Structure 1
Amino acid sequence: MPYALCPMPHDPCPIFMTEKFSPKAIAVFDIDGVIRDVSGSYRRAIADTVEYFTNQAYRPTPLEIDQLKSEGVWNNDWEASQELIYRYFQSQGQPREQLQLDYNDIVTFFQSRYRGTDPNNFTGYICDEPLLLQPSYLEQLTQANIAWGFFSGATRGSANYVLQKRLGLQSPVLISMEDAPGKPDPTGLFATVQILDNGCDALPTVVYVGDTVADMYTVEKARNQQPHRTWIGVGVLPPHVQETAARRDAYAETLKKAGAAIVLSNVQELTPEQIQKLDG
């Protein structure tokens, strides 16, 4: 897949594009599980896909999907679906080398559930995703001179659906699946920050907000590759893990072990004051 590692200019709030503006900090947000609740969409599509390609023999539970993602390398839900299918058949004594899985077929089936079957309109699970953030929160960041944007493993179409159509944002800074390698590779995070810091001489602290181990590993890799800048990982608990205290606490501990400086119940708890506190 070709990647646009030097993305075309976006049109965020004009305050971020003036020559004199130097943001106090930069906040970059993952989308799935942070901006929108995907427990009934992406994760449901994973379960549907695995069930279909195992001939209805196995449907992974939300906990099993979380356990897979806690390995830190399955941020792509198409690849996660394929891996769960492989692992099921391996558990039945069939080596993966002997399986005839077609990745493109897996992607097509997954998308038929998540996006829907209408090629021109979203009609699938994506239409029912609850929002976890309101535009007024982003305006608070703008007023506090905190630049913000999005780096997500979601496709550009899916990401723009929630950012532009659902939240009403005008051309937000976005690096999506098509623009950079998948997490935990930090290339996409670097590209997002490059747009947001507007070439200023100072190097504002970057806070990356995500809900998975891969998100926190991305921050760690960014820190190792660009140690001259301060990188902070902030974990957010996706709604589906907050149903019981035990699961919530276990998930929070997993994010902390992966490098999260703090773990929040909702992204909007990351106020400008909290960002300043983290920046120290």
Structure 2
Amino acid sequence: MTEQTNPLVIFDIDGVIRDVGGSYRRAIADTVEHFTANAYRPTSLDIDQLKSEGVWNNDWEASQELIYRYFEKAIPREQLQLDYNTIVAFFQSRYRGPDPDNWTGYICDEPLLLQSSYFEQLTLAGIGWGFFSGATRASANYILQKRLGLKSPILVAMEDAPSKPDPTGLFATIRLLGLDKLQPVIYTGDTVADMYTVEKARIIEPNRTWIGVGILPPHVQETVARREAYAETLREAGAAIVLSNVQELTSVQIEQLLR
């Protein structure tokens, strides 16, 4: 690849770099169950259906929305006295654990979905890479630095940019990656919001090649039917290709996408 055409690959983290089926998603279910007085615990499919709307990338807001939707069958939303900060605090007590300085929660058991050597292979191929995630910076760095051992990775996290599908964070990641000669950008993600982010970036900067790559999170790969339905949802949202694991996005695959 020549310098002018060297692409940048930017990664979402949750569902791409780590499996959050038993962590973030479990914390969503716990939170909704708690604030509906144990009356409703959303299934994995319920959460997928909400996220397929493309605007619920923030899991705290997703939890609140599911609580609202449960109660508004009987009570108008505006009459519900939900306190967002209380919802966030409960969610974090499950995800991180009760002690914010010594994490013992679900985050500690998240399976990794790749090996750090994958990034070394991209670098050797002349491909720049970084991360744009809706996770908090602390949570993202826990997985990138502590678990994967990456040194000072380029990262734009929840605190740094508006929530997806707003592409502001995607542009910020590109800037942090350094010299920009309008290289092609590939963004990998596991949700509709991730693919919408690419579509919105293309509208703002049409002179650049933008490619959305869908990654199937582990929880949707348990049955063929669910896997195929989820893949089709990502394609309809704009994914150029849908992969079972991010490590399938090799330098050879990237070259094929850019042809």
Q: Fold-level match, TM-score > 0.5?
A: yes
Conservation of the 8 A alpha-carbon contact between 2:5 and 2:184: no
Conservation of the 8 A alpha-carbon contact between 1:25 and 1:206: yes
Is 2:60 the counterpart of 1:78?
yes
Structure 1 counterpart of 2:28: 46
The Cα shift of 1:159 comes to: 0.1
The Cα shift of 1:63 comes to: 0.2
Report the AA paired with residue 201 of structure 2: A
Which has the larger displacement, 23-32 or 33-42? 23-32
Structure 2 counterpart of 1:9: none
The Cα shift of 1:22 comes to: 5.9
Identify the match of residue 157 of structure 1 among 128, 138, 143. Answer: 138
Report the AA paired with residue 195 of structure 1: L
Is 2:13 the counterpart of 1:34?
no
1:216-255 correspondence runs (5 A): 216-255=195-234
Question: Relative to structure 1, is the Cα distance of residues 23 and 134 closer, same or farther in structure 2, using a 3 angstrom cutoff?
Answer: farther
Is 2:66 the counterpart of 1:55?
no
1:258-277 correspondence runs (5 A): 258-277=237-256
Structure 2 counterpart of 1:195: 176
Conservation of the 8 A alpha-carbon contact between 2:10 and 2:130: yes
CA deviations 1:107-151 (Å, max 9, x no partner) are 000000000011212110000000001111100000000000000
Report the AA paired with residue 51 of structure 2: K
- Please tell me the root mean square deviation across aligned C-alpha atoms, in Å: 1.1
Report the AA paired with residue 41 of structure 2: R
SS in 1 for 2:188: strand
Is 2:100 the counterpart of 1:112?
no
Conservation of the 8 A alpha-carbon contact between 2:187 and 2:212: yes
1:66-215 correspondence runs (5 A): 66-91=48-73, 93-196=74-177, 198-200=178-180, 202-215=181-194
Report the AA paired with residue 178 of structure 1: E
The Cα shift of 1:90 comes to: 1.2
The Cα shift of 1:262 comes to: 0.2
Percent pairwise identity: 76
Conservation of the 8 A alpha-carbon contact between 2:93 and 2:105: yes
Any runs of at least 4 consecutive aligned residues in structure 1 with deviations exceeding 6 A, and if so which? none
Report the AA paired with residue 191 of structure 1: A
CA deviations 1:178-231 (Å, max 9, x no partner) are 0000000000000001122x224x321000000000000000000000101111
Between the aligned partners of 2:125 and 2:7, the Cα distance in structure 1 is 9
| Count of residues in Structure 1 that have an aligned counterpart in Structure 2 | 258
Between the aligned partners of 1:195 and 1:155, the Cα distance in structure 2 is 18
The Cα shift of 1:23 comes to: 6.7
> Where does structure 1 lack aligned partners over 5 or more consecutive residues?
1-20
Conservation of the 8 A alpha-carbon contact between 2:12 and 2:131: yes
Report the AA paired with residue 94 of structure 2: R
Conservation of the 8 A alpha-carbon contact between 1:23 and 1:146: no
Report the AA paired with residue 251 of structure 1: Y
SS in 2 for 1:145: coil
Between the aligned partners of 1:118 and 1:171, the Cα distance in structure 2 is 25
> Where does structure 2 lack aligned partners over 5 or more consecutive residues?
none
SS in 2 for 1:208: strand
Conservation of the 8 A alpha-carbon contact between 2:130 and 2:154: yes
Conservation of the 8 A alpha-carbon contact between 1:153 and 1:182: yes
Conservation of the 8 A alpha-carbon contact between 1:23 and 1:145: no
